[in-house]
């Protein structure tokens, strides 16, 4: 029993999940902590999806200044309650998102925010590139689709790989935080300033 309580403690520290959830995850996965973490992450993402419809009227507007005042970010991240907005973990999470914006230079929060004319212009450029490369016209839609997907991954905050853990997208990170903290959250907007940039 001492061994299993130690495993529960270890799993709780790594995931932030409750005692009963950790015990269940370990039981379902033969006391393998790695598998139990994956199990909890899958359950957490499912739990996060259930919370997605909840209203988020609280949160933080956070500022981050980088490189001695050369880059600045203002970001608004919403949650359900003022209690969570004052929580240190939520504040650290918002700061991580501000760091992401400073470092990765996204232009939009999510792909749905990309104006239709911008997406169309990109498609036209990609089609022109496919033509220049001498690819057959039948292959153009697939090439355009692949390049447009890459555009979203580079320019939409939620689609980007998280700078502190590139194996995770920012969207997945948000879902993990929703599961861990137990409230719906969303990135509402951000502005990135770089000295000398129009």
Please tell me the least confidently modeled range out of 49-53, 69-73, 74-78. Answer: 49-53
Question: Above 70 in pLDDT, residue 16?
Answer: no
93 confidence band (pLDDT: 50, 70, 90): very high
Question: Above 60 in pLDDT, residue 56?
Answer: yes
Q: Return d(Cα 65, Cα 59) in angstroms, integer.
A: 20
What pTM was estimated for this model as a whole? 0.70
Quick: pLDDT tens for 155-165.
999 999 999 99
Question: Above 50 in pLDDT, residue 1?
Answer: no
54 confidence band (pLDDT: 50, 70, 90): low
Residue 18: what pLDDT? 66
Q: Return d(Cα 52, Cα 61) in angstroms, integer.
A: 20
Residue 10: what pLDDT? 82
Region 63-72: what's the mean pLDDT? 90
Residue 55 φ/ψ region, left for φ over 0, alpha for ψ in the -120 to 50 degree band, beta for the rest = beta
CA torsion through residues 171, 173, 176, 177, sign: negative
Q: What domains can you pick out in the chain, each with its CATH number? A: 2-51 (1.10.8.10), 58-109+156-194 (3.30.479.20), 115-154 (1.10.286)
Residue 90: what pLDDT? 93
Quick: pLDDT tens for 123-137.
999 988 988 888 888
Region 26-41: what's the mean pLDDT? 84
Question: Above 70 in pLDDT, residue 3?
Answer: no
Question: Above 90 in pLDDT, residue 70?
Answer: yes
Six-digit token string for 7: 């495993």
């Amino acid at each position: 029993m001492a061994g299993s309580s130690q495993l529960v403690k270890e799993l709780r520290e790594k995931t932030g999940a409750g005692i009963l959830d950790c015990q269940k995850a370990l039981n379902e996965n033969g006391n393998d902590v790695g598998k139990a973490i994956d199990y909890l992450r899958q359950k957490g993402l499912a739990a996060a999806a259930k919370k997605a419809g909840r209203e988020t009227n609280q949160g933080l507007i956070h500022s981050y200044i980088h490189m001695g005042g050369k880059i600045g970010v203002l970001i608004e991240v919403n949650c359900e309650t003022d209690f969570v907005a004052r929580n240190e973990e939520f504040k650290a999470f918002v700061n991580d998102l501000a760091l992401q914006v400073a470092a990765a230079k996204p232009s939009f929060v999510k792909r749905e925010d990309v104006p239709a004319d911008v997406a169309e212009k990109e498609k036209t450029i990609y089609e022109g590139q496919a033509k220049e490369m001498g690819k057959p016209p039948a292959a153009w839609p697939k090439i355009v689709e692949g390049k447009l997907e890459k555009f979203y991954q580079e320019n939409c905050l939620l689609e980007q790989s998280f700078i502190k853990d590139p194996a995770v997208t920012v969207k997945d990170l948000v879902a993990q935080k929703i599961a861990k903290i137990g409230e719906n959250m969303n990135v509402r907007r951000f502005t990135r300033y770089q000295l000398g940039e129009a």
